Amino acid sequence: MKVLGISFSPRNGNSQALVEHVLKGAKDAGAETELVRFCDLQVKNCKGCGFCKAPGNDTCSIKDDMQDLYKKIDSADAIVLGAPVYFGRMNAPAYTFIDRLYAMLNPDFSLRISGGKKLAVAVTCGGGPVEDMEKINGYLTTIGGFFGWTGKGLVCEGNLMEKDAVLKCADKLKEAEKLGKTLTE
């Protein structure tokens, strides 16, 4: 069983730490895990060019690091997405990622990759509006549904302005690990 974590934290901060602990929980339960730091990759925005939906084509026209990430997603049994809240929604790299997933769908919106994956979401913010983080989980779970990913839960924490502040929240890290374990069940 493979669990792929994708962190959208540009500073490898709090949301990434939660992803890492979800992965730890999965690894301790026997899964093979991998963390991808999306902001370290070269991934361009979707151009809406239609290449991926044109007859004879089965992938994106943009040849960048997303091509490798499509393969990693395809071979994973579970995906963990982790993002910080910026201005009440996910930060921009997370949207770039989602838009580029379009190329994983056939013209009739059937899947080009294997489905039946589990999804866990990790979100952090500097204030306290848990609703913003729940909304993000709801959005990612809805989008994940297009790709056959079943939402298994959200781990989130507010009041985290400083990088790595979440590392002081031992209970939250444990909660993340518990969520990781559920991905293996």
Ligand X SMILES: Cc1cc2nc3c(=O)[nH]c(=O)nc-3n(C[C@H](O)[C@H](O)[C@H](O)COP(=O)(O)O)c2cc1C
Q: Which of 6, 15, 136, 144 binds ligand X (CB under 6 A)?
A: 15
**Contacts of residue 47, Cβ cutoff 8 Å, sequence gap at least 6:** 61, 62
Would you say 132 or 177 has its CB closer to ligand X?
Answer: 132
| 78: number of Cβ within 10 Å | 25
Stretch that binds ligand X, among 10-18, 45-53, 108-116, 172-180 (CB under 6 A): 10-18
Residue 84 interacts with ligand X (CB under 6 A): yes or no? yes
Give me the residue label for tokens 């730091």.
37
Residue 126 interacts with ligand X (CB under 6 A): yes or no? yes
Q: Which of 50, 115, 127, 145 binds ligand X (CB under 6 A)?
A: 127
Q: Which of 77, 86, 99, 146 binds ligand X (CB under 6 A)?
A: 86
Residue 87 interacts with ligand X (CB under 6 A): yes or no? yes
CB of 16 to ligand X, least distance (A): 5
107-128 as b/e, with b when 16 or more CB fall inside 10 Å?
Answer: eeeeeebeeebbbbbbbbbeee
- Helix 14-28 / helix 170-182 crossing angle, nearest 10 deg: 50
- The pair of structure tokens assigned to 81 is 């997405």
Q: Where on the chain is the footprint of ligand X (CB under 6 A)?
A: 9, 11, 13-16, 84-88, 124-127, 160-161, 163
